[in-house]
Amino acid sequence: MAYLRWRRFLELAALDHPWVGETFMRRGGAGPGARPAAYWDRLHSGGYDRLLNSEQRHHHRLLAALVSESVAHPRVLDIGCGEGVFHDSLRPFAPAAYLGVDLSDLAIAKARARITDPAARFTLGDGARYDAGAERFDAIVFPECIEYLGDPIALLDHYARFLAPGGVFGVTQWLGLKPLRLWRQVKAAADIVDEAVVSAPWGGAWQVWTCKPRG
């Protein structure tokens, strides 16, 4: 418990003072990085049932409200959608369209079985470079998955072409010293619209932000 409190103190301090994070970060490894589909299939075969729990979804609720405030009834592309859990929070805002993309075919099968919204579609794909063709979205979101999708700047650059005019990116990630590096990289390259920290009831927190491509 004392260790968790210490971690929390460091993570919150590192939000405003990057040197705190860089000083106390565990060495070795660059962070999560890409994992193969089989890894995600294993998690989606049972371990990820917990992501459906209400207390696991406060970051989704905030992100859904932010993107729907920016455009009512938004068209949303959800990268790394898993079993479609973000859609549960988006549904009250009646999205005009929703497309969830995930690398795990088990996740996609579970999402299709669970979600009955006629505006929702799910497809198997690599979220690091998914091609949405001619479709355009008011929001492209990466809830708890951006750290698995490679260089975040190249990622947002790739997806900018699929944003409708005025569209936003939305990201949530677990607050940690290494993820804070990713957040700073994005902040340096994109225009932040909103950002917040959402505390989890069991300790720890998520970062939630929306941003627009610069220029």
Ligand X SMILES: C[S@@+](CC[C@H](N)C(=O)[O-])C[C@H]1O[C@@H](n2cnc3c(N)ncnc32)[C@H](O)[C@@H]1O
* R_g of the chain, CA atoms, integer Å: 17
Among 62, 75, 144, 182, binds ligand X (CB under 6 A): 144
148 binds ligand X (CB under 6 A): yes
Task: Kindly state the tokens that stand for 144.
Answer: 């708890």
Least CB distance to ligand X at residue 97 (A): 18
Q: Which value, to the nearest 10 degrees, does the dihedral of the CA atoms of residues 160, 38, 208, 142 take?
A: 20
Of 114-122, 143-151, 152-160, 200-208, which segment contacts ligand X by CB under 6 A? 143-151
51 binds ligand X (CB under 6 A): yes
Among 68, 89, 104, 207, binds ligand X (CB under 6 A): 104
**Which x/- pattern, by CB under 6 A, does the window 78-97 give for ligand X?**
--xxx--xx-----------
Contacts of 82 (CB under 8 A, 6+ apart): 44, 48, 51, 102, 104, 107, 111, 145
Task: Kindly state the tokens that stand for 68.
Answer: 């729907």
Among 63, 77, 103, 108, binds ligand X (CB under 6 A): 103
127-148 per-residue burial string, b: 16 or more CB within 10 A, e: under 16: bbebebeeebbbbbbbbbbbbb
Least CB distance to ligand X at residue 145 (A): 4
Binding residues (CB under 6 A) for ligand X: these are 40, 51, 80-82, 85-86, 101-104, 107, 126-128, 143-145, 148-149
